[in-house]
Amino acid sequence: MKRFFTYLRSAVAQLDQDYSACRRAAKIDGAERVIVDSSALHCPVCFCIFTSAPFILNCGHSFCQNCVKKLVENSYSEHSAIFECPMCRQVTSSEAHFTKNYLADALLHSICEITQNEKESSVDSNLRISFQLISRKFLEEQEKNSILREKYKEERVRSRRYLIFLIMESALLVGSAFLYKLLYRKAWDIIRDCGFPVVPSEHWLFGNLNIMKSYSTHWQLCKLTRKYGRTYGLMQGSHPIIVTSDPKIIYQICIKQFHLFHSRTMDPNGPHPDISYEVHEFAARGERWKRIRSLTSKAISNENLRKLFYIMHDSVNHFIMDLENEITYSKVLDLHPRFQKLTFDIISRCCMGRPYSCQHDDANLKLLLKKFSPLQSFHLSFLFTWCLPDLKWILLIYAKLCLCFRAAFHLDIDPLVTYTNYLRKVISMNIINQDRSSFLYFMKCVEDKKWDKWEVDADRPCHLSSMQIIQKLTPGEIINQCRFLTSAGFDTTANTVVYLIYLLAKNRKKQEKLYQEIAMLDEITFDSIQHLNYLHCAIMEALRLFPHASLLQSRACVQQCKIGPYTFKKDVGVIFDTWSLHYDEEIWGSDVREFKPDRFLNCTTIQKRNWMAFGTGPRQCIGMRFAMLEIKIIICSLLKKFSFHEIENMNEVDFTNELPYALLGKIKFSAPYNIRLKE
């Protein structure tokens, strides 16, 4: 038995070959599971855990390198070259080649890796591993600290730059404010010594712009007229404006001295009236205005209106048919949007030559209603152009960039731009309708795509009566003229119809008298409708009480002049306070607030001259006759089928305190106007 164990030890000792030991260690590393006795991992002499590969003796026992050296040095044998194994007392030669125990070394490395990969460990018994973890954490924190230092340096440099930029911006703002104050003072001086009172500015930057760009401007102007008189001045941003309701001054400006006031007040947000390629009649001035006006007037002559009458009547008949299908004695309808659809259908057919009626879900009407909705607020850039007109080009570039950005990302763009693109697409087809009575046909007949000789500086006196015009229109002028006629011609007409029906419902005797006149007609024709004098007077009286488009009437002085006691300097704007003029008791009598169509049956010359619902003079609204004919057809067709009645418990409106525009949303007409129709 003893010989067997001696043989076994010698067999284990033969495993001292490096190659064989490394191969066994590799097998252990590749094993999925290894069970190890903890006593095999520490030295049996010093009881320390092996920190490196131990030495294995011939007997098979492993010791750390320090203990083997001590055994060799402290040998008590007579021969110093031999020593005994502490475990089995087997004699071993110190000159023999000691083999490293690669098996134990592989186990130690595996245990260290497992210990390092553990996420949660209670107490780390290996100080070396703990030191490595702490060192790694320290390096990470040191790296974070260096990153924070770099960020701090960058922020410090950035804060210095921002401070410099802030100082420069503050200096620029202060300088701009000072410069603006000088320009504002210069503009203020234009109207300060002109002989009329000046309304104090409510804001150092915007002046009285909040008055001029609000939805109650007409009413606020009436209050200012009662306070400052018929003629006074105010600041519209940096633009000096003169407001007047004096009949003599208005007559001089619009008729007698028209050559000095042929231009309207220039809108800084609009195109230049002289050099821009796309300008409509309302924005043009001088020779260009007369050319566009003269060529467009042919489409609204009495001869052509006779042809357009059947188109208007056809659209109104479709409207009456739809109304008969919807209305009942107990049902209340919202008629105002229906009138908007009707008037837009009429103006679209007459302008573009569309042969059929379309009064349901018109996409173009939705665009215009969205653009001109009272809920639409003025954009900030719109206000700043009135205050800083010299920076207009910057804001225009900004607006074009915004338009390109919105188009690229399919965002909502300006509805008016969308409508203009639609008109440009339709007109560019070069299709002239068979119906030669459309407005577009007359304008396409004088179109010249290559002509560009319209650029004439009109900022000067122009005697237009003796001026010869060129029979040509540019494509841009045609597009903008069509847009102007369709957008300006539908809502104003619809509002007039609504106001007239409201007044007729409140004055049943006047309505009955008008009905008796209309009932005399066997058929509504162009000739027969011209003889309805009381209807004509009723429309004029409704527009006298509600001149809702009067805020568009303005003029610009192109040369300094004197009218009466007042001086009008160059570039000053003039706005007519039509509401105060139409409610002037000296002109219309003490019953000025009553609805009396009879006053126009025998009206005086002064009353005719001061009725300004469509303006007065050469720049009177070009669509006046068209609108009057359209309103007459609508009222005649309605009164032949229906009568207008007030809804019970209707709130009375005091026009001395309430805004007449409030009727469009506050008082209901058959929903928005407290009126119902009876067949």
| Same domain assignment for residues 231 and 100 | no
Number of C-beta neighbours around residue 74 at 10 A: 8
* Neighbour count for residue 225 (Cβ, 10 Å): 22
Residue 340 lies in a domain: yes
62-to-6, 80, 105, 155 alpha-carbon distances in Å: 17, 21, 11, 62
Q: Let me know whether 612 and 482 are in one domain.
A: yes
260 lies in some domain: yes
Last residue of a domain, one of 117, 137, 159: 117
State the Cα–Cα distance between residues 156 and 154, nearest whole angstrom.
5
505 lies in some domain: yes
Give the separation between CA 550 and CA 615, rounded to whole angstroms: 7
Spans in the chain with pLDDT lower than 50: 1-26, 119-124, 375, 377, 653-674
How far is residue 264's CA from residue 267's CA, in Å, rounded to a whole number? 9
Domain that includes residue 111, residue range:
2-117
Looking at the structure, tell me whether residues 454 and 592 fall in a common domain: yes
pLDDT score, position 394: 65
Write out pLDDT tens, residues 586-616.
Answer: 999 999 999 999 999 988 899 999 999 999 9
CA-to-CA distance for 260 and 30, rounded, in angstroms? 105
Is there a domain that residue 542 lies in? yes
Last residue of a domain, one of 66, 94, 117: 117
Q: Binding residue per annotation — 621?
A: yes
Structural domain includes residue 245: yes
The rounded distance, in Å, linking the Cα atoms of 177 and 119 is 66
Residue 519 Cα distances to 327, 634, 639, 641, angstroms: 22, 14, 9, 10
Place of tokens 């209305």: 327
Asked if 264 and 397 sit in the same domain, the reply is yes
0.95 exceeded by the pTM?
no
Report how far residue 268's alpha carbon sits from residue 279's, in angstroms, rounded to the nearest whole number: 14
Number of domains in the chain: 2
Give the Cα separation of 54 and 52 in Å (integer): 6
User: Domain ends where: 117, 133, 168?
Assistant: 117
* CATH assignment at residue 224: 1.10.630.10
> Does residue 125 fall inside a structural domain?
no
Residue 10 token pair: 């010698």
Tell me: do 478 and 334 sit in the same domain: yes
Q: Is residue 203 part of a domain?
A: no
Q: What are phi and psi of 402, to 5 degrees?
A: -65, -40
pLDDT score for 551: 81
Which CATH number do you get for residue 45?
A: 3.30.40.10
Does some domain include residue 137? no
The β-bridge relationship of strands 643-646 and 573-576 is unpaired
